[in-house]
Amino acid sequence: MNPRHSWIIALKDIKIFIRKRTVLYTLVLLPLLLSILFPLVIKYGGKGSGGIPASSIPGVLGSFEWFYVIIPAIIPAPMASYSIVGEKIEKSLERLLATPTTDGEILLGKSIATFIPAIIATYAGATVFMALIDSVTYGKLGYFYYPNWDMGVILLLAPLVLLLSIELNVITSSRVSDVRSASQLGSLTFLPLIGIYLASELGVITLDTSTLLILAGVIAVLDVVMFRVSTSVFQREQILTKWK
Number of chain positions touching another protein (CB under 8 A): 26
Calculate the CA 118 to chain-centre distance.
6
3-state DSSP assignment of residue 27? helix
Among 47-55, 86-94, 113-121, 151-159, the segment contacting another protein (CB under 8 A) = 86-94
95 lies in the binding site for another protein (CB under 8 A): yes
Residues 180-239 that bind another protein (CB under 8 A): 236-237
At its nearest, how many Å lie between another protein and the CB of residue 93? 7
At its nearest, how many Å lie between another protein and the CB of residue 15? 7
What mask of x and - would describe binding to another protein in positions 8 to 47, judged by CB under 8 A?
xx--x--xx--xx---------------------------
Type of residue at 56: S
Cβ atoms of residues 162 and 76 within 8 Å: yes
Judged by CB under 8 A, which of 40, 41, 53, 102 binds another protein? 102
User: In degrees, to the nearest 5, what angle opens at C-alpha 166 toward C-alphas 163 and 114?
Assistant: 95
Among 38-46, 94-102, 152-160, 202-210, the segment contacting another protein (CB under 8 A) = 94-102
Taking the alpha carbons at both ends of the chain, their separation in whole angstroms is 30
Judged by CB under 8 A, which of 10, 93, 118, 158 binds another protein? 93
**CA 130 – CA 119 distance, rounded (Å):** 16
Which one, of 110, 105, 219, 107, lies nearest residue 162 by Cα? 219
**CA 148 – CA 90 distance, rounded (Å):** 46
Residues at the interface with another protein (CB under 8 A): 4-5, 8-9, 12, 15-16, 19-20, 90-102, 236-237, 240-241
